[in-house]
């Protein structure tokens, strides 16, 4: 669906941000762009909807180069949610803001109203339709931003650090919403983040970025199994995986693999307890 070929980008002040990125994202995937601050995540995702033009290389969407596709078509199919919700909430009320995208698509008023209603319902903000934007909490603003993109019915949604500034419950709630949109609506999700613990819970594919390059791309098991890559990218394992890794390497606990989530760790621990229980009886 999205193909990035040898992407290079240098900022106007001469700072090289991307140094030859190659990546492919299939339809329906939930992809994490994982990297520390300054790794190039935000710069990369701004290329994915044509906001930034590459210095070298190209981005293909459904086989066509982004630069050759009309902006109108690109922006209606690829939505982007920025890190700071105040950067993309410009109307006075929630429903007016969500209606912004569909209005620009030239839809009739009835269609706009329907889309706004549906989008707000999807993010559970229908009660706030007439509320002023400035009266919303940070988490509510994030949801409205997502609703504003959903109202345009995109095929791809790109999110730049969507969990930034949210409390743990807010993070969980937002991630479940995104996962639901990916699973039930088939929307391809691309998320730039440095929150390692979230990734194995929700994402099917991870691209590790460091200094403008993709160091490794694959499933969570493949990527987190490569300790050298994690070190180069200045990342660490998810906390539960870190614990299990220490148990395996320092305490010689007989783990089949390093679990990445609490659920996996629980199953592995129960398996070990059952085995030990059997051994003790024998």
Partner 1 sequence: MSGIHQFTDVQGERRRLLVALDGRIKLILMLVALGLNLLAGGIRFPLALLLLSTVAVTASGVQLRSFMRRMMVPIMLAFVAFVSQLFWYPEGELLRTISVLGFDLPVYQGALDRGLELCCRILGGMSVLLFFSLTTPLPELMRAAHAFHCPSVLIELALIMYRYIFLMFEEASRIRRAQKSRLGYVSFSNTLRSFSTLGGMLILRSYDRAERSFAAMRCRGYRGVMTAVVPSRLKGHDWGVLLVAGMILMALWTVR
Residue 229 engages partner 1 in binding (rule: CB under 8 A):
no
Closest approach, Cβ 130 to partner 1, in A, equals: 7
Measured from the CB atom, the residue of 47 and 205 that comes closer to partner 1 is: 47
Nearer to partner 1, 93 or 261 (CB): 93
CB of 99 to partner 1, least distance (A): 6
d(CA 85, CA 78): 18
Nearer to partner 1, 46 or 205 (CB): 46
In angstroms, give the least distance from the CB of 258 to partner 1.
39
**CB 200 to partner 1: min, Å:** 29
Residue (113 or 232) nearer to partner 1, CB: 113
> Smaller CB distance to partner 1: residue 26 or 86?
86
User: Judged by CB under 8 A, how many residues of this single chain contact partner 1?
Assistant: 38
d(CA 190, CA 111): 27
For 153, residues 6+ apart whose C-beta sits below 8 A from its C-beta are 76, 115
Please tell me whether residue 144 binds partner 1 under the rule CB under 8 A: no
Residue with tokens 């919303």: 136
**Residue 95 or residue 268: which is nearer to partner 1 going by CB?**
95
Region 74-133 residues binding partner 1, contact defined as CB under 8 A: 75-76, 79-80, 82, 84, 86-93, 96-97, 99-105, 109, 112, 130-133
Judged by CB under 8 A, the chain residues 149 through 208 that form the site for partner 1 are 149, 152
CB 215 within 8 A of CB 232: yes
Q: What is the 3-state secondary structure (H, E, C) of the chain?
A: CEEEEEEEEECCCCCEEEEEEEEEECCCCEEEEECCCCCCHHHHHHHCCCCCCCCEEEEEECCEEHHHCCHHHHHHHEEEECCCHHHCCCCCEHHHHHHHHHHHCCCCHHHHHHHHHHHHHHCCCHHHCCCEHHHCCHHHHHHHHHHHHHCCCCCEEEEECCCCCCCHHHHHHHHHHHHHHHHHHCCEEEEEECCHHHHHHHCCEEEEEECCEEEEEECHHHHHCCHHHHHHCCCCCCHHHHHHHHHHHCCCCCCCCCCCCHHHHHHHHHHHHHHHHHHHHC
CB of 49 to partner 1, least distance (A): 6
CB 219 → partner 1: shortest distance, Å? Answer: 30
Torsional class of 165: left (φ above 0), alpha (ψ -120 to 50), beta (otherwise): left
Considering only 15, 53, 121, 135, the residue that binds partner 1 (CB under 8 A) is 135
Residue 37 CB, nearest approach to partner 1 (Å): 18
Q: Answer yes or no whether residue 139 interacts with partner 1 by CB under 8 A.
A: no
Name the minimum Å distance from CB 277 to partner 1: 57
| Binding to partner 1, residues 22-61 (CB under 8 A) | 49, 51
Using CB under 8 A, list all residues that contact partner 1. Answer: 49, 51, 71-72, 75-76, 79-80, 82, 84, 86-93, 96-97, 99-105, 109, 112, 130-135, 148-149, 152
């Amino acid at each position: 669906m999205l193909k990035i070929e040898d992407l290079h980008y240098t900022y106007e002040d001469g700072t090289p941000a991307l140094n030859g990125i190659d990546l492919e994202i299939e339809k329906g995937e939930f992809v994490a762009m994982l990297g520390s601050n300054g790794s190039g995540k935000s710069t990369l995702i701004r290329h994915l909807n044509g906001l930034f033009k590459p210095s070298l290389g190209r981005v293909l969407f459904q086989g066509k180069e982004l630069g050759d596709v009309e902006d109108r078509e690109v922006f209606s199919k690829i939505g982007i949610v920025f890190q700071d919700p105040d950067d993309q909430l410009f109307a006075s009320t929630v429903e007016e803001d969500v209606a912004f995208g569909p209005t620009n698509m030239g839809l009739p008023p009835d269609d706009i109203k329907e889309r706004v209603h549906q989008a707000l319902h999807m993010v559970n903000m229908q009660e706030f339709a007439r509320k002023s934007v400035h009266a919303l909490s940070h988490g509510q603003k994030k949801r409205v931003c997502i609703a504003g993109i959903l109202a345009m019915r995109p095929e791809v949604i790109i999110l730049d650090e969507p969990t930034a500034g949210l409390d743990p419950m807010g993070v969980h709630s937002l991630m479940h919403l995104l996962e639901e949109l990916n699973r039930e609506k088939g929307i391809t999700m691309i998320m730039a983040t440095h929150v390692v613990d979230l990734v194995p819970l929700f994402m099917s594919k991870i691209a590790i970025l460091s200094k403008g390059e993709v160091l490794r791309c694959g499933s969570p098991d493949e990527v987190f199994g490569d300790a050298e890559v994690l070190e180069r990218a200045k990342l660490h394992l998810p906390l539960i995986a870190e614990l299990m890794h220490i148990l395996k390497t320092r305490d010689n606990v007989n783990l089949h693999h390093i679990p990445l989530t609490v659920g996996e760790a629980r199953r592995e621990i129960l398996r070990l307890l059952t085995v030990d229980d059997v051994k003790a009886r024998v």
